[in-house]
Amino acid sequence: MRRTLIAGNWKMNGSLAANSVLLEGISAAAPTDCDLAVCVPAPYLSQAQAALCASAVLWGAQDVSEHESGAYTGEVSASMLKEFGCTYVIVGHSERRSYHGESSELVARKALRALTTGLLPIICVGETLQEREAGLTDAVVVSQLAPVISAVGKQLADVVIAYEPVWAIGTGKTATPEMAQQVHNLIRTTLAKTSVDAADVVQILYGGSMKPDNAKDLLAMSDIDGGLIGGASLKSADFLAIASAVHAA
Ligand code: 13P
């Protein structure tokens, strides 16, 4: 039985004062029947660690360098994230793919760097509206997964995949539970071609306008094992309401 993971992606939002309220609100009422995590901007990792270390809530980062260390100005290494107690790191978010030109091969190298350093990568895949309308959703998702599957090899069971249709991110338009389930099933079937055992345990999260009012129906689908939440992760009440939908699903 896969455990549900509700992970917040704060993106480039927050301040010391606002984070403090948010982290306290989340940790004070965190449910125990699912895993809860927040992926915060790198400068706030120390704050998240201090606020959450005595709670069941996990934390992580939003990106990581493919390199171990060295002359890579502006980059943050996996071992640095590890030093701040991160469990997770998001890699290949569509905002990084589109604004920073990240290829699926680079995303795969970042995922491997995370895994070899003891971090669990949350690897994002998903099609644009244009690709969906052209009937290319399955092909796009499979091609984004392929380099990851070949790079991570035997550690496939330790990755988390997030299906985030680009057209649903921050738009208020969400995939229907059936649309999301179809792609989640495709992802699991694709992973199973490499390892049936790994495919069975990998958590596949849905991301894209997941809110308290649609979370229950999405989380009720058999291959949706949680959510990667953007906007609604910035208010503790909304984030916790999504987490309690796990129970209701
Ligand atoms: P929204 O929940 O704001 O649509 O963002 C989803 C997302 O990009 C999470 O990584």
**Pocket around ligand 1: residues whose beta carbon is below 6 Å from it?**
9, 93, 164, 169-170, 207-210, 228-232
Q: What pLDDT, on a 0 to 100 scale, did the predictor assign at position 235?
A: 97
Percent of the chain with pLDDT over 90: 94
Kindly indicate the confidence band of residue 92, based on its pLDDT and cuts at 50, 70 and 90: very high
Q: Give the predicted TM-score (pTM) of the model.
A: 0.98
How close is the Cα of 209 to the center of ligand 1, in Å?
Answer: 6
Bridge partners for 130 per DSSP: none
Q: Which of 15, 65, 61, 22 is nearest to 39 (CA)?
A: 61
Q: What pLDDT, on a 0 to 100 scale, did the predictor assign at position 131?
A: 97
Residue 247: is its pLDDT beyond 80? no
Bridge partners for 35 per DSSP: 5
Question: Ligand 1 pocket check: which of 11, 13, 129 to mutate, most ligand atoms within 8 Å of Cβ?
Answer: 11
Q: What pLDDT, on a 0 to 100 scale, did the predictor assign at position 125?
A: 98
Residue 29: is its pLDDT beyond 90? no
Q: How far is CA 239 from the centre of its chain?
A: 14
How close is the Cα of 208 to the center of ligand 1, in Å?
Answer: 5
How close is the Cα of 234 to the center of ligand 1, in Å?
Answer: 11
The residue nearest atom 1 of ligand 1, judged by CA position, is: 230
